[in-house]
A = this chain, B = another copy of it.
C-alpha cells in the first residue's frame, strides 16, 4: 500500500538494508547472486529511492534554480531549454522560477527561496541593483546572465553587448542608413543591457563621424513586443523618420516591424530592422529578421560549468558527509568573480538585406 522503503526490499531479499543500498549505488563488493536477488526484490516491490532521505544523508540535492524574468519570452524559453539539458548532462535537475522582473522575487531567488533546497542559482536579473548583491550572507553559489552588476560577488556570463550593438549599427550604416532609431535604448553609464548596447551604438556612430540624436533613442519599460511597437508608433508620431531600426531584442524588433507595417512603411525598403537574440520567430517572420545571434548553447554551457565549479568550491569547505569528528578538509577560499564572454554573430536576413531567402526544409 504505502510506498516500499529500503527496509522492505531488504526483508524481501533476506539481506540487510545497507546491502540493498550498496546494490542501488553500484558498490563494488557485492556478489552477483546477492545483487540479482536484491534487484528482483526491487522490481517486485516497485521500489524507488526516496530522494529526501538520500539528500539528507548525502548533504546534496542535485538541484539548481534557474530564475528568469519571464518564461514565455522566447529568448528565455530557448535558453531555459538549453540550460535544463546542459544541467542534466551534469547530473543536476533544474527548478525554473520566474520573477516577472520583480526585485523582491529576484532577491528571494538569491536567497535560495528561504531554504537551502537548491544548491545554486542561475539568475537573469532585471530589477536588482548592485547593492543587492554586495553583501549576501546566505551566499548561495550564483551565476548571473545578461545584466552585469559590477559590484557583484557572482560570476557573470554574457555576450559582449557593446561590441554586438556596434556591429549591428555598422551593418545598418553600411547599407546607407543614417537615421537609426534605437528601440529600447537608454542613455546612461550603468551596466544595464540597454545602456551598454546604446553605448555600443553610439560608438559606431562616432567612429563613422555621424551625429548622435538623443530623440532617436527610445527607452521602454519592458523588452516585449507591444513595447517595441509602441516605441515605433511614438517615434513616427513625433515626426522622426528613421530609415533604420536597431531594436534591442527580437521581440521588440517584431513589434517594430508590425508598427512600421501599420504605417505603410516597407521593411527593408523604407526602413531596415535589426534585432537581438535570434529567436525562432525571427527566422520565419515576414520579412525574416536580421539579428545579433548570441551563442545560446555556449551561454548555457558556460553558466552551468561556472555554477558547478562554484558549488564544488562551496562544498569543499563543508563537512558534507564526514561522520565522526575527523579533521576538516582545507578551508574554503572564495574565488573572485569571473567574467565569461560568449561569442555572438550578426545574422543577416531579409529585414536588412532585402534579398528573398527560401524557407528551410525540414525532414530531409
| Contacts from A to B (Cβ < 8 Å) | 1-3, 46, 48-53, 55-56, 61, 70-72, 74, 77-78, 80-81, 84-85, 93-98, 111-112, 114-117, 137-138, 221-222, 224-227, 229-230, 233, 254-255, 257-259, 261-262, 280-281, 283-286, 288, 317-319, 331-332, 356, 358-363
Residues on the B chain within 8 Å of A254, using CB: 281, 284-285
A221 B363 Cβ-Cβ under 8 A? yes
> How far is B81's CA from A77's CA once the two chains are assembled, in angstroms?
10
Copies in the complex: 2
B226, A50: Cβ atoms under 8 Å? no
Q: Are A49 and B115 in contact (CB-based, < 8 A)?
A: yes
Contact check, A46 vs B222: say whether CB atoms are below 8 A apart. Answer: no
- Shortest Cβ gap from A222 to chain B (Å): 7
Knowing A3-B116, A226-B359 are in contact, say whether A261-B286 is a contact too (CB < 8 A): yes
- A359 cross-chain contacts in B, Cβ below 8 A: 226, 229-230, 233, 255, 258-259, 262
- In the complex, are the beta carbons of A48 and B112 less than 8 A apart? yes
* Additional A-B contact list (13), CB under 8 Å, known A50-B56, A51-B115, A52-B56: A1-B317, A1-B332, A49-B115, A52-B52, A53-B56, A71-B71, A71-B80, A72-B78, A81-B98, A84-B96, A222-B362, A230-B362, A285-B285
Other-chain contact of A48, B111, B221, B257, B259 (Cβ < 8 Å): B111
Are A284 and B262 interface neighbours, CB within 8 A?
no
**Distance between Cα atoms of A80 and B78 in the complex (Å):** 13
Q: A2-B318, A262-B358 are in contact. Are A116 and B229 (CB under 8 A)?
A: no
CB-CB nearest in chain B for A281? B281
Establish whether residues A77 and B84, one from each chain, have CB atoms under 8 Å apart when the complex forms. Answer: no
A56 to B258, CA, bound (A): 53
Residues of B near A361 (CB, < 8 A) are 226, 229-230, 233
A114 close to B53 (CB less than 8 A): no
**Complex Cα distance A95/B230, Å?**
35
Within the assembled complex, what's the spacing in Å between the Cα atoms of A95 and B77?
Answer: 14
Partner of A97, one of B49, B84, B286: B84
Cβ–Cβ < 8 Å partners of A229 in chain B: 284, 359-361
Task: Point out the residues of chain B lying under 8 angstroms from A98, CB to CB.
Answer: 81, 84-85
A83 → chain B, closest Cβ, in Å? 10
Inter-chain contacts of A362 with B (CB < 8 A): 221-222, 224, 226-227, 230
Instruction: Out of B96, B115, B222, B255, name the residue touching A94 (CB < 8 Å).
Output: B96
Q: Which residues in B have their C-beta under 8 angstroms from that of A52?
A: 52, 55-56, 61, 117
**Pair A95/B97 contact, Cβ less than 8 Å:** no
Contact (Cβ within 8 A) A74 B71: no
CB <8 Å contact, A225 and B284 = yes
Q: Is the CB of A114 within 8 A of B285?
A: no
Chain B residues with Cβ below 8 Å from A226 are 284, 359-362
The answer to whether A48 and B284 touch (CB under 8 A), given A2-B318, A80-B71, A362-B226, is no
Give, as a whole number of angstroms, the nearest-CB distance from A50 to chain B.
5
Contacts of A318 in B (CB 8 A): 1-3
